[in-house]
């Protein structure tokens, strides 16, 4: 049985007709940039995430960059980020001219370690970017406390965690600004690139609206240096069809996670994801930890099962950041996670039998080695 790590064609079978119907009027009208679907989606996502304002942008990476720019982050500033995340989290910091300061992770949740955050605050620190990795919120109470103490901004990287909650509060409403990605494989994905910035602060929202259109207000009058970063009307129309399904898709992801937990419970040497009390994990990924990771991945591949390693190299050891002077061993928890994590197939349309087969193949591998 071939089981992909991710498959969008199954979702298309389910809602393709509805999406086609939503796209036709947009194409007939010929209004593709900053139209009514973008405005409506901004309001709908903001409401879903308990934020006041949503600002559609071209992708999640730009969402982070623009959030930092709106906060005034630039050359000479430092921004604290986890080293164990997708490149965009730190790339956005570097694009502003500021310096990313890398922090280690909690080995149980893979999220930023608040104690390490506290240890790395300096006079130049302007902001902290907690990433809600794999769909589980970071320890926001501890992070918020550090931010308050040192007057720092908090930018949530919620690219992997739309719909997640922390102590009953929605991801997207837990910091000064939050960033979402609608990359096709995300829990809420469009048919290309897309992203959104969320905030409760009217002034920041207005800055973001100007920054995404080359810093123009009114049109052709530029008082700040912005970029061209808008969410397409067609993508917004697709996302508006998908958003009402998101809760049921998330519930299915959580059910699949439960099935994995049951199926893998008695297998020695496999560390299952830890769900923190008070958090609703939305399982963008179901990521296990295992000593012989590469061999297991190969065995699963041979059995037709797709898996992925998010992420093989921590950001502090990426070549592009050589000039920052980090070396192997500096952030040991993240480095170890890079060698041991393996994300199993996870998407709402995955069926129970497929989950059972993945568990069976993992058990067979462990019994052999």
Ligand X SMILES: Cc1ncc(COP(=O)(O)O)c(C=O)c1O
d(CA 348, CA 189): 13
Please say which residue, 27 or 320, places its beta carbon nearer to ligand X: 320
CB of 59 to ligand X, least distance (A): 4
Cβ nearer to ligand X, comparing 106 with 193: 193
Reduced DSSP (H G I as helix, E B as strand, rest coil) percent helix, strand, coil of the chain, to 5: 45, 15, 40
How far is the first Cα of the chain from the last one, in angstroms, to the nearest whole number?
23
Binding site for ligand X (CB under 6 A): 59-61, 85-86, 88-89, 131, 157, 159-160, 181, 183, 193, 195
Nearer to ligand X, 250 or 361 (CB): 250
Nearer to ligand X, 180 or 288 (CB): 180
For 30-90, give the DSSP string. Answer: T--BS-HHHHHHHHHHHHHTT-SEEEEES-HHHHHHHHHHHTT--TT-EEEEESSS-THHH
Burial of 340 by CB count in 10 Å (0-12 exposed, 13-18 middle, 19+ buried)?
middle
Q: Which tokens belong to 46?
A: 């903001």
Q: Would you say 61 or 136 has its CB closer to ligand X?
A: 61
Q: How far is the CB of 89 from ligand X (least distance, A)?
A: 5
Nearer to ligand X, 100 or 195 (CB): 195
Cα torsion at 204, 209, 215, 220 (round to 10°)?
-140
By beta carbon distance, the residue nearest ligand X is 60
Minimum distance from residue 345 beta carbon to ligand X (Å):
18
Residue 254 DSSP SS3: helix
In whole angstroms, the minimum distance from the beta carbon of 239 to ligand X comes to 13
Q: Supply angle C-alpha 210, 202, 67, rounded to 5.
A: 55
State the minimum distance, in angstroms, from the CB of residue 262 to ligand X: 28
Q: What length is written for the chain?
A: 369
Of 284, 292, 263, residue with least CA distance to 347 = 284
Structure tokens at 193: 């690139």
Taking the complex as a whole, the smallest distance from the CB of residue 157 to ligand X amounts, in Å, to: 5
């Amino acid at each position: 049985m071939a089981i992909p790590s991710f498959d969008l064609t199954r979702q298309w079978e389910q809602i393709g007709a509805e999406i086609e119907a939503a796209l036709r009027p947009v194409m007939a009208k010929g209004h593709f940039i900053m139209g009514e679907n973008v405005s409506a989606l901004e309001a709908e996502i903001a409401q879903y995430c308990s934020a006041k304002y949503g600002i559609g942008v071209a992708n999640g990476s730009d969402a982070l960059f623009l959030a930092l720019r709106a906060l005034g982050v630039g050359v000479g500033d430092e921004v604290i980020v986890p080293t164990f995340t997708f490149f965009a989290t730190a790339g956005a910091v570097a694009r502003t001219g500021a310096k990313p300061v890398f922090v280690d992770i909690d080995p149980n949740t893979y999220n930023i370690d608040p104690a390490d955050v506290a240890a790395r605050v300096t006079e130049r620190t302007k902001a902290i970017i907690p990433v809600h990795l794999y769909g589980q919120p970071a320890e926001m109470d501890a992070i918020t406390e550090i931010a308050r103490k040192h007057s720092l901004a908090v930018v949530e990287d919620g690219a992997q965690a739309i719909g997640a909650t922390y102590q009953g509060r929605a991801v997207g409403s837990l910091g000064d600004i939050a960033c979402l990605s609608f990359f096709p494989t995300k829990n809420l994905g469009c048919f290309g690139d897309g992203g959104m910035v969320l905030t409760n602060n009217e002034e920041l929202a207005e800055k973001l609206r100007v920054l995404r259109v080359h810093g123009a207000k009114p049109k052709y009058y530029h008082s700040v240096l912005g970029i061209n970063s808008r969410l397409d009307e067609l993508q917004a129309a697709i996302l508006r069809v998908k958003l009402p399904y998101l809760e049921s898709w998330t519930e299915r992801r959580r059910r699949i996670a439960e099935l994995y937990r049951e199926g893998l419970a008695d297998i020695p040497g496999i560390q299952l994801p830890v769900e923190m009390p008070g958090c609703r994990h939305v399982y963008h990924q179901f990521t296990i930890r295992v000593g012989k990771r590469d061999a297991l991945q190969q065995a699963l591949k041979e059995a037709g099962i797709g898996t992925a390693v998010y992420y093989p190299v921590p950001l502090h050891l990426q070549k592009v950041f050589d000039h920052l002077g980090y070396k192997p061993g500096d952030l040991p928890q993240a480095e170890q996670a890079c060698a041991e994590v393996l994300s199993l197939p996870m998407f709402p349309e995955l069926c129970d039998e497929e989950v059972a087969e993945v568990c069976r193949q993992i058990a067979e591998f462990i019994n052999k080695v």
